[in-house]
């Protein structure tokens, strides 16, 4: 028995002995199988265990230094604190902790694992960047792809995302739908960079999950539609498995306004498994209330602009995939080149390979100038021709590929950068290269000249940002030597950066008789006056053309694309004002800058640059309008083809700041959903400019922390009288800090009314937080516009101004609304800039529909430099009694005059908008005649219906006048009173209330002695009929009597079913 028991114990102990002897490697493999193995969903990294005890979470390691194709080496730090942290985590027992200490990039990556190329993937993780220690630290997470041989494929920025300024733990995710068709393997990476000395970063719950793949296509070049074409989007979804899905389709414009939102059901219940793999359908996002012109809904034109279309795939529980695409609508037409070298606008290509992709883009932009780099890093000279090894094409074929429209664009060849074979031949600079071994560099110049041949319009030495040229004898000798080798008399110029940096204007331009143009690189501190001074010193013998390249700088931050587009257009306007001969933008295509992004989608900059091409190619600057004051930037250009015509470009200066007055995490400002409690600590931080705590500017605002976001908080300062008063009192001490002349002026003049205080507060807050508040408008009334005016916004939308006109005559002068977004006014007569008269109707005047004499007041001012004499001809609506059809006036220079229009409305005039026509004839040095219309609202002075009570047809009440078995009558009750205005005090009037039912005679009833402050009612009994179904009853109320007025009020009431 003892022997049996012993044997049994030995058998039972075997598993225990084996478990005790399990090796470390077996533990690791077992843990991998249970935690990291590929599941149906994808890959999961919870950062729970360092089973191999190497200081890193399992399946992660330090990244090795990488050698990029362009020769740059990415060097990562190999000494940094990286460990599992059990104190701060999002889930489980641990998180990954990284301490970044300000020098170099820390990079971690996973092992390589296989993927399904048929699917899409979503990478997500939770992040916590310490708000104090990591305020200048950022983290990048992304995916690297490998082919079947595990060779890395080119890295794309759209396969990664940035994280910074988190408020505690925040989740970030990225959908990747466009996988390289060669991708078979992948690895994840995390890179940490910044300027903090001890930036603390935590990461947890990394997932890389397989998702249905969503492909969105438009079958349009760069997804750009012509102005009248509806959007049509093709959506293909791969990898569907369930019976039913929902597709949420949302369209948002560049101003972050949702233009379209719809949910579409996908039902696959009747399809077998083989047919579920790929599902394709079309979407046409269009709505009467979304993409049409909401300002004039009677027009069938679509709104122009850039739109982000996001498509989310979900089931009945959660979101399981998605994708997005940028689409655009603009005016596409064949633009004829300006003859005699008159083209102004062009683009600069970054490399030769891009030349093959640009043809369609040039046509859409209407451009006929392009700069092409003639040297790449990988060139060979074969049979006297340059060959690009990567593209396997001669440069002649490159030029052929960029042909657009009916004519070949003008090509400027750029000598830079150097081919690899010449990289170490001499110090940086084309002319320094010429002083080196001629046998080595000569074939490349000769090859370039012969390859481009007669197709090149001009040669530019140096890239747009080249700073190597100096006016010394050695470089001048090299330039002579180089020019002697060229064939023909092609125009030659050089790039220069002499106006940049602290040495602005101290360097001398390269002076040579053969230099025909200088290409400057635009930067924020570019001083055009200094540029002109430099050029005037240069041009003692030869007049040089001034070229400028406008570098496009954008950020990965949400919302900055539109800011970049606006800045680009403003720079275009500055250049046209200062008579720049040629304007280029660079890069044409880029990741976060450029007219086209790397996904071949248009950016807002595409449309803003096109706006300059369309409207500013053939104009001459003639001045600005002083009537706008100091706070509005405005420019008037005359048309070269018709010098009598002009256009006006304007925007407010308040938001024309290159550097914000105060700036904390910009992404917090554009994330409307962030609560004030998330920003509370930011408000507490000392501000260097104010030397105050920002919270001092927000009295009582902390009471709203739990429920208001930043924008509501800023609006609370504007609208709340108590908070506004405290804010202005404190800001008043800091008036010299404002860059706005308008704000300084209003602070100095001590604003008086509450409306002025409200407006001033808004101006100040918009200057401090320019991306947070909705546009502020400056209403300018003192500009004379003497013909049809079309307003064009920054994205190309055209609309007439707000005042309507008749028979083609346009308002002589009207309100012009200007905000921080540039706007163009076309269709002006150039004479308006020399003709100064302003006409104002007093907006406080009100007119009522009573048969009594009433008055509208007009104020006019002579802005001309001499006496003005004229006459108004007033035309009122038909049957109105006009006591002042002609009003003569005579005004001395700079003087104003007040005049009155007196009239009695017609008895049959119904309340609503009334048009008053005004013909103005006046004489200064010549005679001017203009016509316009003023719209005023004719108001009823009746009050119909008590506050809080709805006027409606009520069902019968049983037991009150309703017999058993009989059909009862519905009831309509109309309470009426007089408005409490001075003209009605002490007055009693009789009114008639008339009920009109469908197909029946009117039923009038009289209510006597209506007066101010009391309601009298009339009741109608209505027997509902089948013929009334889905129709409305009309009620008309009018005063009766022989000696006073006629008051009208009309309304409609739905008729209920029987």
Condensed to tens digits (0 to 9), the pLDDT of residues 370-410 reads 988 887 665 666 655 555 544 445 555 666 666 655 567 88
What whole-number distance in Å separates Cα of residue 707 and Cα of residue 1015? 41
Tokens of 474: 């050695």
Smallest CA-to-CA distance from 928 within 968, 870, 973 is with: 870
pLDDT of amino acid 343: 92
Q: CB 898: neighbour CB atoms within 10 A? A: 11
Cα–Cα distance list, 753 to 222, 529, 699 (Å)? 52, 41, 21
Query: What is the three-class DSSP state of 392?
Result: coil
DSSP state, residue 46:
-
Please check whether the two domains, 219-286+302-330 and 839-939, share a CATH topology: yes
Strands 345-348 and 369-373: parallel
**pTM, full prediction:** 0.64
The CATH number of 839-939 is 2.60.40.10
Residues in the chain predicted with pLDDT less than 50, given as ranges, are 1-20, 27-28, 30-37, 70-71, 287-300, 389-392, 501-505, 558, 656-709, 735-736, 771-772, 774-786, 802-814, 834-835, 959
What whole-number distance in Å separates Cα of residue 1044 and Cα of residue 801? 39
Smallest CA-to-CA distance from 195 within 141, 242, 135, 139 is with: 135
Condensed to tens digits (0 to 9), the pLDDT of residues 430-466 reads 888 888 888 888 888 877 777 777 778 888 888 887 7
User: What is the domain partition of the chain in residue ranges?
Assistant: 34-211, 219-286+302-330, 344-617, 666-769, 779-827, 839-939, 969-1054
Residue pair 812/788 in contact by the 8 Å Cβ criterion? no
pLDDT of amino acid 619: 93
What whole-number distance in Å separates Cα of residue 892 and Cα of residue 405? 56
DSSP 104-121: SBEEEEE--EE--TTSEE
DSSP 762-792: HHHHHHHSTTTSPPPPEEEEEEE--S--EEE
| For the chain, counts of helices (H) and of strands (E) | 16, 62
Residue pair 510/542 in contact by the 8 Å Cβ criterion? no
What whole-number distance in Å separates Cα of residue 640 and Cα of residue 834? 18
The CATH number of 344-617 is 3.20.20.80
pLDDT of amino acid 379: 63
What whole-number distance in Å separates Cα of residue 137 and Cα of residue 384? 52
The CATH number of 34-211 is 2.60.120.260
CATH class of 969-1054: mainly beta
Tell me, rounded to whole angstroms, the distance of Cα 641 from its chain centroid.
Answer: 33
Superfamily name with CATH number, domain 219-286+302-330? Immunoglobulins (2.60.40.10)
Query: What is the three-class DSSP state of 151?
Result: coil
The number of residues in the chain equals: 1058
Q: What angle do CA 165, 171, 175 make, to 5 degrees?
A: 110
Q: What angle do CA 816, 819, 821 make, to 5 degrees?
A: 120
Q: CB 805: neighbour CB atoms within 10 A? A: 19
Strand segments, DSSP code E, in 47-119 are: 60-62, 66-67, 73-74, 81-85, 95-100, 106-110, 113-114
């Amino acid at each position: 028995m003892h022997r049996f028991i012993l044997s049994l114990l030995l058998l039972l102990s075997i598993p225990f002995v084996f478990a005790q002897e399990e090796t470390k490697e077996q533990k690791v493999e077992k843990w991998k199988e249970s935690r990291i193995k590929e599941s149906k969903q994808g890959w999961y990294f919870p950062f729970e265990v360092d089973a191999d005890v190497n200081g890193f979470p399992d399946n992660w390691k330090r990244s090795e230094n990488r050698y990029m194709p362009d020769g740059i080496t990415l060097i990562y730090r190999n000494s940094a604190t990286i460990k599992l942290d059990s104190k701060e985590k999002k889930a489980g027992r641990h998180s990954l902790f990284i301490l970044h200490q300000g020098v170099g990039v820390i990079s971690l990556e996973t092992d390589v694992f296989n993927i399904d190329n048929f699917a899409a993937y979503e990478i997500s993780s939770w992040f916590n960047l310490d708000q104090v220690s990591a305020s200048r630290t950022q983290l990048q997470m992304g995916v690297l792809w490998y082919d079947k041989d595990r060779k890395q494929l080119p890295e794309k920025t759209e396969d990664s995302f940035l994280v910074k300024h988190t408020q505690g733990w925040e989740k970030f995710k990225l959908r990747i739908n466009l996988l390289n068709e060669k991708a078979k393997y992948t690895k994840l990476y995390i890179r940490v960079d910044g300027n903090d000395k001890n930036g603390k970063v935590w990461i947890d719950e990394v997932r890389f999950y397989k998702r249905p793949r969503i492909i969105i296509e438009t079958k349009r070049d760069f997804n750009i539609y012509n102005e009248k074409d509806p959007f049509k989007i093709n959506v293909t979804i791969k990898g569907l498995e369930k019976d039913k899905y929902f597709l949420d389709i949302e369209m948002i414009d560049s101003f972050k306004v949702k233009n379209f939102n719809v949910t579409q059901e996908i039902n696959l219940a009747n399809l077998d498994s083989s047919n579920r793999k790929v599902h394709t359908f079309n979407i046409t996002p269009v709505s009467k209330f979304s993409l049409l012109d909401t300002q004039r809904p009677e027009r069938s034109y679509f709104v122009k602009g850039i739109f982000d279309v996001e498509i989310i795939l979900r089931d009945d529980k959660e979101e399981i995939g998605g994708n997005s695409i940028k689409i655009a609508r603009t005016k596409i037409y064949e633009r004829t080149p300006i003859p005699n070298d008159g083209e102004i606008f062009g683009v600069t290509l970054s490399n030769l390979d891009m030349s093959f992709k640009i043809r369609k883009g040039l046509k859409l932009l209407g451009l006929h100038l392009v700069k092409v780099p003639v040297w790449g890093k990988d060139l060979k000279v074969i049979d006297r021709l340059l060959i690009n090894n990567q593209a396997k094409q001669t440069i002649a074929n490159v030029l052929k590929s960029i042909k657009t429209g009916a004519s070949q664009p003008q090509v400027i060849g750029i000598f830079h950068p150097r081919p690899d074979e010449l990289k170490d031949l001499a110090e940086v600079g084309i002319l320094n290269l010429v002083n080196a071994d001629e046998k080595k560099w000569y074939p490349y110049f000769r090859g370039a000249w012969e390859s481009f041949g007669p197709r090149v319009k001009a040669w530019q030495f140096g890239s747009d940002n080249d700073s190597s040229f100096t006016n010394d004898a050695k470089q001048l000798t090299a330039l002579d030597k180089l020019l002697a080798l060229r064939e023909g008399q092609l125009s030659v110029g050089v790039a220069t950066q002499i106006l940049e940096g602290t040495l602005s204007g101290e360097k001398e331009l390269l002076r040579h008789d053969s230099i025909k143009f200088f290409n400057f690189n635009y930067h924020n501190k570019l001083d055009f006056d200094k540029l002109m001074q430099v050029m005037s010193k240069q041009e003692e013998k030869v007049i040089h053309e001034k070229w400028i390249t406008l570098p496009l700088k954008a950020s990965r931050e949400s919302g900055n694309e539109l800011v970049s587009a606006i800045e680009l257009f403003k720079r275009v306007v500055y250049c046209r004002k200062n008579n720049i001969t040629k304007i280029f933008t660079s890069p044409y295509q880029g990741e976060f800058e450029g007219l086209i992004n790397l996904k071949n989608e248009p950016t807002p900059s595409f449309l803003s640059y096109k706006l300059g091409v369309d409207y500013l190619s053939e104009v001459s600057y003639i001045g600005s309008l002083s009537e706008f004051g100091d706070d509005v930037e405005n420019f008037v250009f005359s048309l070269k083809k018709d010098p009598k015509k002009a256009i006006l470009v304007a925007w407010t200066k308040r938001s024309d700041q290159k550097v914000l007055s105060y700036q904390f995490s910009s992404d917090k400002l554009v994330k409307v959903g962030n609560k004030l409690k998330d920003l509370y600590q930011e408000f507490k931080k000392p501000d260097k400019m104010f030397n105050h705590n920002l919270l001092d500017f927000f009295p009582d605002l902390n009471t709203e922390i739990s429920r208001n976001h930043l924008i509501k908080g800023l609006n609370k300062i504007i609208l709340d009288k108590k908070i506004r008063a405290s804010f202005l009192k404190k800001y008043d001490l800091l008036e010299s800090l404002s860059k706005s002349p308008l704000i300084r002026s209003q602070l100095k003049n001590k604003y008086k009314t509450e409306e002025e205080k409200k407006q001033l507060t808004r101006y100040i807050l918009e200057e401090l937080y320019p991306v947070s508040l909705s546009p502020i408008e400056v209403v300018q009334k003192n500009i004379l516009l003497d013909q049809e005016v079309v307003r064009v916004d920054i994205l190309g939308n055209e609309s007439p101004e707000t005042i309507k006109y008749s028979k083609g005559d346009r308002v002589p002068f009207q309100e012009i609304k200007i905000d921080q977004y540039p706007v163009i006014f076309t269709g002006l007569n150039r004479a308006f800039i020399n003709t100064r008269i302003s006409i104002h109707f007093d907006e406080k005047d009100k007119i009522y529909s009573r048969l009594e004499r009433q008055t509208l007041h007009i104020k006019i001012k002579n802005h001309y430099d001499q006496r003005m004499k004229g006459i108004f001809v007033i035309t009122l609506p038909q049957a109105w009694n006009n006591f002042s059809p002609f009003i003569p006036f005579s005004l001395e220079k700079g003087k104003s005059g007040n005049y009155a229009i007196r009239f009695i409305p017609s008895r049959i005039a119904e309340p609503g908008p009334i048009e008053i026509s005004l013909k103005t004839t006046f004489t200064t040095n010549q005679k001017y005649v203009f016509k316009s219309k003023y719209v005023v609202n004719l108001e009823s002075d009746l009050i119909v219906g008590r506050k809080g009570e709805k006027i409606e047809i009520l069902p019968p009440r049983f037991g009150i006048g309703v017999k058993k078995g009989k059909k009862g009558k519905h009831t309509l009750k109309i309470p009426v009173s007089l408005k409490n205005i001075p003209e009605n005090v002490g007055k009693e009037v009789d009114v008639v209330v008339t009920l009109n039912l469908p197909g029946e005679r009117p039923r009038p009833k009289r209510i006597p002695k209506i007066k101010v402050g009391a309601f009298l009612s009339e009741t109608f009994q209505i027997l509902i009929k089948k013929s009334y179904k889905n129709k409305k009853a009309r009620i008309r109320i009018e005063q009766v009597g022989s000696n006073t007025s006629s008051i009208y009020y009309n309304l409609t009431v739905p008729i209920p079913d029987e």
